[in-house]
Each structure stands twice: as C-alpha cells, then as structure tokens.
Amino acid sequence: MARLYIFLDKMKFLFVIFIFLLILFAPDFYIYETVVKPMVFGGFQWLYWVPQIVVVLLMVAFAFEADQTAKFRHIGFAGFALLCLQLPKIAYTLVALLGRLAALVHIPTLPFIIIGVGLAGVILVTLLYGCFVELYKYDVQTVEIASPKLPPAFDGYKIVHISDIHSGSWNPNGRQMKRMVELVNSQNADMVCFTGDLVTNNHSEIDPFFDILRTIRANDGVFSVLGNHDYSFLMSTRDTLQRLIEKEQNLGWRLLLNENEKITRGNESIAIIGVENVGRPPFPHVGDLGKAQMGTDGLFSILLSHDPTHWREEVIPKTDIPLTLSGHTHAGQLDLPFLSLSRSMYPEYRGLYTEGEQSLYVNAGLGFTFFPIRIAARPEITVITLKTK
C-alpha cells in the first residue's frame, strides 16, 4: 500500500508539473509572435528561446545528480530561475491580451502595454527580493501566553520555538545557519523547542551543519520532534530513519518520540510532550498522543506536534493541553493578502490561535522546500513567555 501511495503521488506530481510547464511557457509563443518577430531582425529571433532552454536543460541535468541533497537544492534554484523568467511574461501577456480585447471597442492598447511591462517588472523585483533578501531575514516574534494552569514558579518562563530547518535548503558554508543559531542563543531561553523537519529528504543533510546546530543552548535544554519530511520516502527504511534519529539525539537535543519530559522548579513541574508525525500519505501517521501524555495528568503541558491540523483534529476534542507548538506550513513561503496557499489549506497556518483555555502557535519555519523564496513569510524565531493568569 505504501508503494502504491508513492507511485500515485509521483504520477500526480508529474501531471502537475506538465500542466505547470504548459501554463508557464504559453506566454512565450505570444511574446515571440507579437514582440520578438516584429522587433528583432537579422535572424537573431531564436536567441529569445535560449534562457528558457538553458534553465530547463539544467533542471534535467540536476535530476541525475547522485547526491540527493545537492540535487534537490540545485533543482530548486533552477526552478526559481525559471519562475523569474516566466512569471513576468505571464503577467505581461495577460495584460496585453486585455489590451487586444479593449482594442475591439476602440480603446487604445498602449496603456495596457505600459501597465503589462510595469507589472512584469514589479513581479521580477519581488521574486528577487524574496530570494536574496527575505529568505534569510529572520523575524523574531514575541508572544505572551497566560494560563490559569501554569504553576507560579514558571511565571515568566521563556521558550524559543523554531521549526522546519530543512537542512538541505541551506548554503553548505553555514554562514546563515550560524547567524540563526546565534540569534536563538541571544534570547537566553529557558527552553528551545523544535517542531520538526530537520531535513527534507536525507539524514546526510545535517552533516555540514552538525557542529553549528549542536551549539543551540537553553537552560533546560532543546526539545524536538520529527516532522513529515523527516520520514521522507527517500529515507523510507527504518535503518535510515534511525540514523536521522541518532544524529538528532547526538546534537544534544531531547527528541520526544510519543513521550514526555518534566521540567521542575522547586516543588512544581510542567510537562513537555512530543508526538511523532501526525499526517497524510505518503508520509506516515505514527503519532500517539495518548501514549505521549502518559504520566502528565494535572500538569501544565506543552505539546510539540509538527502538523497544526493535529490541534483541531485531536488535541482540542480529546485533551485539555493548554499550549501546542507546530510548524509545517512555512506560512506558504508566500503570504500575501490575495495569494497565500497555506492560508487556503490550513485553518491555522501562522501565528497564535486560541480556543477557550487552549492555544496553538504555528511557527513559519526557518528553511524552505523546493523554491528558495520567502515573500511576506520571513523565517521565524518565536519567543514565547508563559504567564500565570
């Protein structure tokens, strides 16, 4: 059954890619016929197709790379280059076609051409900004969460919440990773919580950053859980998953696999609960909240669960856990009022949500998947201060 899910998932992916490429390249034929042919002379019109062809050939070549980490990183950057080439053309073409329709009722087409060129320029600048500026522009969010269940000894307790590092998406030189870790450590947290997706496809992604990640510090330690990508079908055997688990534990992090730990201040305690991935195929649903909660009755509890949909599906209906921390969504890596994939897919996709005495915080993540871009969805470090109510 797992193999069938993987096969169907791959076929669906190939179909989506085909439709995506069809839409992506359709404007080229319009622009070639209406702009390039009339304006470019001397047999040089064919040069128009060179950038697109080069990028596509690079993507195909990268697909055969043996190093899985390098392959996905290189394909992602080539895919981003293709977006930079094609999305402005799509915008221009749509506006130009509106101009042609307007011409049928004797409205001048020149303003449409000017608007189309301007819109194309804005899109290109926005894409480049999202890749070269916002991708590593860390956003430190401060949140205060009050609960009547919090023991007085933990009033003012500070948690740094991070998520979705996706190690393979970072430059192997480690400079940006080091800056992120320094920013985390500068918060002087009582606890650091990591809510999954340390890697994207392979445990080897951690290797270039191992010595950097192991320097993350907090008074009560670093607690973590696995995310859906940590169970990637490229690491589908138990042996390779175990290697990831061992590496994460060797960082000095307390990896919670459907289990919990207690933090004590004097005679009072709180519980940190961690569940394995709660998700959908092809990633396994292996979280067991009941098992993870054992022995925490009556304690103020913090649940680490990678996917925020778990909160509404099981945490609210079946528990009284005051605080759940999640990641997974990346805030869509693109979070504009009129365009946000995560907002349409997840009822709780970013930030703080409260229902009764239960709260959920969804961290926007630090790394990225596939396209190296973040627009209005900066990589996030969340500083949560607990308060008695």
Domain shared by 167 and 310, yes or no: yes
**Between vectors from CA 35 to CA 33 and to CA 36, what angle results, nearest 5°?**
75
Domain shared by 205 and 349, yes or no: yes
pLDDT digits (tens, 9 = 90+) for 349-358: 999 999 999 9
Total of domains in the chain: 2
**Between vectors from CA 326 to CA 320 and to CA 327, what angle results, nearest 5°?**
165
pLDDT digits (tens, 9 = 90+) for 320-357: 999 999 999 999 999 988 777 788 788 899 999 999 99
pLDDT digits (tens, 9 = 90+) for 48-67: 999 998 998 998 888 888 88
**Between vectors from CA 284 to CA 279 and to CA 289, what angle results, nearest 5°?**
60
Model confidence at 5, pLDDT cuts 50, 70, 90, reads: low
Domain shared by 48 and 111, yes or no: yes
Its domain, for residue 167, covers 139-388
Domain shared by 36 and 116, yes or no: yes
* pLDDT of amino acid 3: 58
* pLDDT of amino acid 381: 98
Domain shared by 114 and 177, yes or no: no
pLDDT-wise least confident of 72-86, 96-110, 126-140, 232-246: 232-246
Domain shared by 281 and 341, yes or no: yes
Tell me if the pTM is above 0.85.
Answer: yes
Highest mean pLDDT: which range of 75-79, 241-245, 303-307: 303-307
Tell me what the pLDDT averaged over the chain comes to: 90
pLDDT digits (tens, 9 = 90+) for 181-200: 999 999 999 999 999 999 98
Calpha distance 303→360 (Å, rounded): 9
Is the bond leading into 38 cis (omega within 30 degrees of zero)? no
Domain shared by 146 and 116, yes or no: no
Q: Which of 72, 99, 132 is the last residue of a domain?
A: 132
Q: First-to-last CA distance in the chain?
A: 49
Calpha distance 92→98 (Å, rounded): 10
Q: Which of 99, 132, 165 is the last residue of a domain?
A: 132
Calpha distance 72→159 (Å, rounded): 32
Model confidence at 293, pLDDT cuts 50, 70, 90, reads: very high
Domain shared by 201 and 55, yes or no: no
* pLDDT of amino acid 72: 85
pLDDT digits (tens, 9 = 90+) for 201-224: 888 899 999 999 999 999 999 999
Model confidence at 237, pLDDT cuts 50, 70, 90, reads: low
What kind and span of H or E run contains 2?
helix 2-31
* pLDDT of amino acid 343: 80
Domain shared by 201 and 219, yes or no: yes
Average confidence (pLDDT) over 80-107: 92
Q: Which of 132, 164, 193 is the last residue of a domain?
A: 132
- Indicate which CATH number applies to the domain containing 307: 3.60.21.10
* pLDDT of amino acid 37: 86
Distances (CA, A) of 293 to 1, 169, 256, 273, 301: 30, 33, 11, 6, 9
Residues 6+ apart with CB under 8 A from 118: none
Domain shared by 153 and 281, yes or no: yes
* pLDDT of amino acid 236: 54
Domain shared by 159 and 290, yes or no: yes
| Neighbour-count burial for 93-132, b at 16+ CB within 10 Å, e otherwise | bebbeebeeeeeeeeeeeebbebbeebbeebbebbeebbe
pLDDT exceeding 90 applies to what percent of the chain? 67
Q: Considering only CA atoms, which of 46, 88, 52 is closest in space to residue 96?
A: 88
Domain shared by 21 and 125, yes or no: yes
